[in-house]
Chain A
């Protein structure tokens, strides 16, 4: 079995680092896209985005329960995927309602971006309370359908390796839905008249007005997109892990870190930032002991866990990356600010 050590080590890494980081990174990327688009078009940091995701996910759960009661299920796929479009519509409507009742007032006043940010914190608290009021603060699993795509035991049996590889169906769903979402979004922004108008408005607001681009329409489309992105990211995260309102509030830090690392306001940056944060978080908190046992000769085997940071500190990693990026390259990996 000596020859398979390298293979075993790689499977171990794939199972505990690469596969989870890709799916978590996809979820962060979609979430960071929502933040970055609000920043680019509406010009403020939307602290309510985490709780917007939470609201969207809650709506999807309620629809899932409704469909399950009606006997409609997704078969091998989670029922939540059927509920997703309905949840997107409800969440987008909520975004428009919030904009009409809250943000529009400050836009008319031409308030400073900091005022908008504080207002978004208020919206965050209200959304947070609303979600907990409706569905409660507890952990909920709303996944149904086929749980595994590849099971560790089957993998071991078929390959004869010591290490097993598990791929959950939610991980594959996350990646597929994330890719479709990104392709649709980039197609919209790059190829359609309205998408180009959004970028133009983001780039040079005065000239956009002179060109006859209607700002109210741009704002409306932006909120619909942000509602959709938030719901998709929230549902994917909730399916993969579980739904707990407070977790979504905690996700704000890695989400903002992802958007800023990539270059806030830049959609490609948000995607890249999402994966950078996800890989950093998981790679720096994984215990590499077993990995090195496979690779190193016996007398060099590590005695400790070979873990850089305890998983309790995973949020500290986003924070450290955020600070480093802001010091060394404040505009992020890609030039940020406009879309």
Chain B
């Protein structure tokens, strides 16, 4: 039985080279799946493939029992999948509030309630709502990026290395917020370099090596797996 949002047998990559070799990632609503692995393992590629940014040679992407493999990224966003890219994930020349409004571009209903919800989740954004997003600190930018993605009221949130380049304190704070988002029933997939911290909040973890699922299991299981610890978590 597939989970709420799942991919399977994904093979493909950029140009002729296959980065993904039969890999699959799944997540349920109200759960966090974390994808870790060494550099070049295809973590981000797997996530982009699930959003449709990469043409796969084979593999299926299923959302809520529906095959969405043929949809463009824009259509998948309209289906309720939100994506926070690793870089260039905010409109730096727009204000914080305008960033949130652009996240809700596809919505025609009143978005003020959602904006208020996001201000509640990230109070600093309310203080800075009229400031250009490009002028904010790294951690605040990530909050804008996550906030923008949440504006569509998505059922799936995919984060590509959300803690890259932010301080450890900000990282903990950000993970706390992500857990809060999870508790509202959103299915979350995170690709992370900070494997230990990420796995500790994960309901389910994937260790990708060479574009394959090398280890899968509950977050705590992976954290305690001696092989995983030795190879990826520094002992």
Interface residues of A (CB under 8 A from B): 193, 196-197, 199-200, 202-204, 206-213, 338-339
Residues of chain A within 8 A of B92, CB atoms compared: 203-204
Counting CB contacts under 8 A, is B135 at the interface? no
Residues of chain A within 8 A of B105, CB atoms compared: 193, 197, 211-213
* B78→A204 contact, CB < 8 A: no
Minimum Cβ distance to chain B for residue A314 (Å): 34
Proximity string of chain B (70-84) to chain A, C-beta cutoff 8 Å, 1 when within and 0 when not: 000110011000010
* B77→A203 contact, CB < 8 A: no
Proximity string of chain B (100-118) to chain A, C-beta cutoff 8 Å, 1 when within and 0 when not: 0111011000000000000
Minimum Cβ distance to chain B for residue A114 (Å): 23
Residues of chain A within 8 A of B215, CB atoms compared: none
Minimum Cβ distance to chain A for residue B52 (Å): 11
* A211→B102 contact, CB < 8 A: yes
A197–B105 alpha-carbon span in the complex (Å): 8
* A212→B77 contact, CB < 8 A: yes
Counting CB contacts under 8 A, is B148 at the interface? yes
Residues of chain A within 8 A of B89, CB atoms compared: 207
Minimum Cβ distance to chain B for residue A209 (Å): 6
Counting CB contacts under 8 A, is B32 at the interface? no
Partner of A196, one of B74, B85, B98, B106: B98
Interface size for B (C-beta < 8 A) is 21
Residues of chain B within 8 A of A212, CB atoms compared: 74, 77-78, 105-106, 152
* B94→A211 contact, CB < 8 A: no
A196–B91 alpha-carbon span in the complex (Å): 11
Interface of A is mostly: helix
Partner of A210, one of B85, B93, B94, B101: B85
Counting CB contacts under 8 A, is B90 at the interface? yes
Query: With A210-B77, A211-B77 as given contacts, are A203 and B91 in contact (CB-CB < 8 Å)?
Result: yes
Counting CB contacts under 8 A, is B88 at the interface? yes
Query: With A211-B103, A212-B74, A212-B106 as given contacts, are A206 and B85 in contact (CB-CB < 8 Å)?
Result: yes
Nearest 6 A/B pairs, CB to CB: A212-B106, A203-B93, A200-B102, A338-B93, A203-B91, A200-B91
A200–B88 alpha-carbon span in the complex (Å): 12
A196–B98 alpha-carbon span in the complex (Å): 7
A193–B105 alpha-carbon span in the complex (Å): 8
A149–B230 alpha-carbon span in the complex (Å): 86
A sample of 26 inter-chain contacts (CB < 8 A) reads: A193-B101, A193-B105, A196-B94, A196-B101, A196-B102, A200-B91, A200-B98, A203-B91, A203-B92, A203-B93, A203-B94, A204-B88, A204-B91, A206-B85, A207-B89, A207-B90, A207-B148, A209-B74, A210-B77, A210-B83, A211-B77, A211-B102, A211-B103, A211-B148, A212-B78, A213-B102
Query: With A203-B94, A209-B73, A210-B77 as given contacts, are A197 and B102 in contact (CB-CB < 8 Å)?
Result: yes
A204–B83 alpha-carbon span in the complex (Å): 15
- Report the nearest A residue to B103, measured CB to CB: A211
Residues of chain B within 8 A of A203, CB atoms compared: 91-94
Minimum Cβ distance to chain B for residue A164 (Å): 48
Residues of chain A within 8 A of B102, CB atoms compared: 196-197, 200, 208, 211, 213
Residues of chain B within 8 A of A210, CB atoms compared: 73-74, 77, 83, 85
A193–B88 alpha-carbon span in the complex (Å): 21
Residues of chain B within 8 A of A338, CB atoms compared: 93
Partner of B94, one of A193, A199, A209: A199
- Report the nearest B residue to A205, measured CB to CB: B88
* B101→A207 contact, CB < 8 A: no
Partner of B88, one of A197, A206, A211, A213: A206
A88–B105 alpha-carbon span in the complex (Å): 29
A206–B74 alpha-carbon span in the complex (Å): 11
A13–B92 alpha-carbon span in the complex (Å): 44
Residues of chain A within 8 A of B85, CB atoms compared: 206-207, 210
Minimum Cβ distance to chain A for residue B149 (Å): 8
Residues of chain B within 8 A of A209, CB atoms compared: 73-74
Residues of chain A within 8 A of B83, CB atoms compared: 210
B74, B78, B85, B89 — most chain A CB neighbours (10 Å): B74
A207–B102 alpha-carbon span in the complex (Å): 10
Residues of chain A within 8 A of B88, CB atoms compared: 204, 206-207
A203–B77 alpha-carbon span in the complex (Å): 20
B77, B78, B105 — most chain A CB neighbours (10 Å): B105
Minimum Cβ distance to chain B for residue A207 (Å): 6
A137–B173 alpha-carbon span in the complex (Å): 69
- Report the nearest A residue to B97, measured CB to CB: A196
- Report the nearest A residue to B99, measured CB to CB: A200
- Report the nearest B residue to A40, measured CB to CB: B93
A193, A206, A211, A339 — most chain B CB neighbours (10 Å): A211
Residues of chain B within 8 A of A197, CB atoms compared: 102, 105
A209–B73 alpha-carbon span in the complex (Å): 8
